[in-house]
Amino acid sequence: MGRLRFKEKVAIALLSLLSTNFCLASELQYDKTVRILTWWGYLDHDDLVREVETACKVNISYDEFYSNPEFIRRSQERKYDLLIYSDTVGDFVEKKMPMPGIDLSDIANSYHPVVRDQFKQEQHAKNTLYFVLSGTVFLWNADLVSLTSNDSISDIFNKGKGKTVALLDDYVEILTLLMNEKHHEKADIFSMLKSVLGGSNLIITNNLGRILKSKDFAIGYAWSGEAIISMSETNQNIKAMMHPSLSHISKDLVSLLSSDSASLCVAKAFTGKKFISDVAERSFYFSPYKKESHAGNTVYDRLYKEFNTKIGELVWLKKFTVEENKFFEKKWLQIKVDLGYKA
């Protein structure tokens, strides 16, 4: 998915440039240590990780990364046994990283039927499985505007004219949003964004915390986790919706790179229903396994129910070639400048 998760950790990201030490989930207790490279925040839950350490009789240490480019760099600098990363760099992993010849694909047979079919359709390497899923959501200040599930992209953002509109900072996600509604030539699709968002106070960001507190905030488009965390930090009358035709699903992947029994044990635990579902609930994302949420957060529990109901209708995040990614990344930077980018 490739995104910031917990805003209070933004400062910690700077430390990753100064240190390459592994984080140990607990003190060394066993002979074998399994080394993991992961999106930051996922393995901060010591109780969950220690359960796996005890079950597999192994020490777990991990490096955290904060962006896809950092992931690519770090994954080549050190040897890891397990990777947890965005599917947008999945091609890089499957082409550049060692394949241990271990088949984990049977685990996917227990996924939600729609997720299982999507996983099989994507034809990942046999050492790779889904980690958590995310759904994009629309947010709005109910004191200023009102959104419905029948609104088009133009309808939604026209309601934000003259007000603050927040858009997540990820060109793959934005391309997928625009391509959900209309069929454009890929090279020209961003031109639609200019016409749709013109006249609003546009903020492109993955940190909604301060934005949702603004009295002028009208509409936002974000990942479920970031949206729910930010909603809990404001007194504004903010509503959230998973749009049946405009929201879509993205996912993170897990790849096992070592063939030893300890690494295999950890990989199976990390991709099992209990571990993934617990991590998903604590970060307000979704599990690839069919389940209901009982996290106690009313917005999240409702969105999870919507996710399970609409999963067969939602679009999955678009996949682009390496060349297309380079092209659109450069195009996105220019579009942000043209739109008066503010972080």
DSSP notation for 10-66: HHHHHHTTT--PPEESS---SS-EEEEEEETTTT--HHHHHHHHHHHT-EEEEEEES
pLDDT at 45: 87
Q: Do residue 112 and residue 194 come from a single domain? A: no
167, 203 in Cβ contact below 8 A? yes
What is the average per-residue pLDDT within 123-129? Answer: 93
Of 36 and 93, more confident:
36
Q: How confident is the model at residue 189 (pLDDT cuts 50, 70, 90)?
A: low
Least confident of 7-21, 48-62, 162-176: 7-21
Q: Is the residue at 325 inside a domain?
A: yes
Q: Do residue 123 and residue 183 come from a single domain? A: no
Q: Is the residue at 311 inside a domain?
A: no
Q: Is the residue at 343 inside a domain?
A: no
Q: Do residue 145 and residue 107 come from a single domain? A: no
- Quote the Cα angle for 167-220-328, to 5°: 20
Q: Is the residue at 24 inside a domain?
A: yes
Q: Do residue 213 and residue 191 come from a single domain? A: yes
Q: Is the residue at 1 inside a domain?
A: no
Q: Is the residue at 77 inside a domain?
A: yes
Q: Do residue 228 and residue 164 come from a single domain? A: yes
Tokens of 239: 């509503």
How does pLDDT run across 64-77, given as a tens digit for each residue? 998 888 898 999 99
Tokens of 215: 């009295």
Q: Is the predicted pLDDT of residue 286 greater than 50, yes or no? A: yes
C-alpha closest to that of 90 among 114, 61, 122, 115 = 122
Q: Do residue 234 and residue 291 come from a single domain? A: no
What's the Cα-to-Cα distance from 269 to each of 105, 265, 273, rounded to whole Å? Answer: 14, 6, 8
Q: How confident is the model at residue 337 (pLDDT cuts 50, 70, 90)?
A: confident
- Taking the C-alpha atoms of residue 56 and residue 35, their distance in angstroms, rounded to an integer, is 14
Q: Name every residue whose Cβ is closer than 8 Å to that of residue 100 and which is 6 or more positions away in sequence.
A: 127, 256, 257, 258, 259
Tokens of 200: 């609003």
Count the domains in the chain.
2
Instruction: Measure the N-to-C terminal CA separation of the chain; round to a whole number of Å.
Output: 19
What is the average per-residue pLDDT within 197-201? Answer: 80
- Taking the C-alpha atoms of residue 9 and residue 7, their distance in angstroms, rounded to an integer, is 5
42, 4 in Cβ contact below 8 A? no
Q: What is the three-state SS of 241-272?
A: ECCCCCCEEEEEEEEECCCCHHHHHHHHHHCC
Quick one: what percent of the chain has pLDDT higher than 90? 51
- Taking the C-alpha atoms of residue 192 and residue 200, their distance in angstroms, rounded to an integer, is 15
Q: Do residue 113 and residue 190 come from a single domain? A: no
Which contiguous run of DSSP H or E holds residue 218? Answer: strand 217-223
Q: Is the residue at 43 inside a domain?
A: yes
Q: Do residue 281 and residue 332 come from a single domain? A: no
- Taking the C-alpha atoms of residue 243 and residue 240, their distance in angstroms, rounded to an integer, is 9
Q: Is the residue at 309 inside a domain?
A: no
pLDDT at 341: 58
Strand partners, 138: 221, 241
Q: Do residue 332 and residue 223 come from a single domain? A: yes
pLDDT at 334: 81
277, 291 in Cβ contact below 8 A? yes
pLDDT at 89: 83
pTM, to two decimals:
0.83
Q: Do residue 12 and residue 118 come from a single domain? A: yes
Q: Do residue 128 and residue 260 come from a single domain? A: yes
Q: Is the predicted pLDDT of residue 187 greater than 60, yes or no? A: no
Of 329 and 28, more confident:
329
DSSP 312: T
- Taking the C-alpha atoms of residue 87 and residue 150, their distance in angstroms, rounded to an integer, is 30
The CATH number for 218's domain is 3.40.190.10
343, 205 in Cβ contact below 8 A? yes
Domain range for 273: 7-133+250-297
pLDDT at 25: 60
pLDDT at 5: 44
pLDDT at 13: 43
- Taking the C-alpha atoms of residue 199 and residue 162, their distance in angstroms, rounded to an integer, is 6
Q: Do residue 320 and residue 222 come from a single domain? A: yes
- Taking the C-alpha atoms of residue 203 and residue 218, their distance in angstroms, rounded to an integer, is 11
186, 325 in Cβ contact below 8 A? no
